[in-house]
Amino acid sequence: MVQIALNGLRVEVDEGMTILEAARFYGIAIPTLCYLEGLSPYGACRLCLVEIGSPGQSKLVTSCTYRVEEGLIVRTDSDWVIKRRKMLIELYLATCPSSKVIQDLASKYHVTSVRFTPWYEDCILCGLCVRMCAEQMQGKAIGFAHRGSNRKVTTPFDKESEVCRLCGGCMYVCPACQSRCQGPQEEQPVCNACLNLQQPCLDYFDDKMCFMDPCVACELDTNRELKVKRRL
């Protein structure tokens, strides 16, 4: 067991755990798109960024790949993290507005406008399908091809795969193509219809919003400062 400081709480976690696993074990939500229990961590979606280290010397790391170490100070929802995460969600929303998973994330993080031209792509290249196929289904029917902006998930040489068993595992794990959001329009890629579903904030602590689950919506609330003042 190693002791870490998780959002100001001293907690004990198993050695070898990643920050993400530790945080989830203690009920702290960290958003992810490319992580799935049972598949190897990939670190590509960058949403699980957390701040580690003491203030002034801290840095952002991906919690899905970073293993806990004795005395590690982790802040899962600091201002720095939230700012970067919001920008990433805005980028996701502009890339793939028809994904319900992404629209929900946007709602949760109060991303209400998108300042980029929407692309309406169907894939965010999280690689879940590739890892699902290789690691769980022992299929290795699909993989990545090309690089940079041309990168895509495909079968070898774009030909119909002989090893694919049509199990559908790839589609099952896909955050972008399975459940679709009908909300976004050509001009405005943000749906935000589910915005009302956000949970009300229970209480305000110094380091995190609520004891059980730092409701990020609360931190992003424009009235937050007022709320703090009121409390004082």
Residues contributing to the site for other proteins (CB under 8 A): 41, 43-46, 49, 60, 62, 65-67, 80, 83-84, 87-88, 91-92, 94-95, 115-117, 124-126, 144, 146-151
| Structure-block tokens of residue 204 | 């305000």
The residue (of 9 and 123) whose beta carbon lies closer to other proteins is 123
Distance of closest approach, residue 137 Cβ to other proteins, in angstroms: 21
Distance CA 107, CA 151 (A): 28
The residue (of 182 and 188) whose beta carbon lies closer to other proteins is 188
Distance CA 87, CA 108 (A): 13
Q: Which of 88, 152, 90 is nearest to 125 (CA)?
A: 152
Distance of closest approach, residue 43 Cβ to other proteins, in angstroms: 4
Distance of closest approach, residue 46 Cβ to other proteins, in angstroms: 5
* DSSP classification of residue 99: B
Distance CA 173, CA 86 (A): 23
The residue (of 123 and 210) whose beta carbon lies closer to other proteins is 123
Contacts of 185 (CB under 8 A, 6+ apart): none
The residue (of 127 and 184) whose beta carbon lies closer to other proteins is 127
Distance of closest approach, residue 115 Cβ to other proteins, in angstroms: 5
Distance of closest approach, residue 165 Cβ to other proteins, in angstroms: 24
SS3 185: coil
Distance of closest approach, residue 124 Cβ to other proteins, in angstroms: 7
Distance CA 228, CA 25 (A): 29
The residue (of 9 and 134) whose beta carbon lies closer to other proteins is 134
Asked whether 60 and 80 are in contact (CB, 8 A), the reply is: yes
Asked whether 219 and 77 are in contact (CB, 8 A), the reply is: yes
The residue (of 64 and 217) whose beta carbon lies closer to other proteins is 64
Distance of closest approach, residue 200 Cβ to other proteins, in angstroms: 29
What contacts 24+ positions apart, CB below 8 Å, involve 134-137?
A: 135/38, 135/39, 135/40, 136/38, 136/39, 136/169, 137/165, 137/167, 137/169
CA angle 99, 103, 105 (to 5 degrees): 120
The residue (of 67 and 227) whose beta carbon lies closer to other proteins is 67
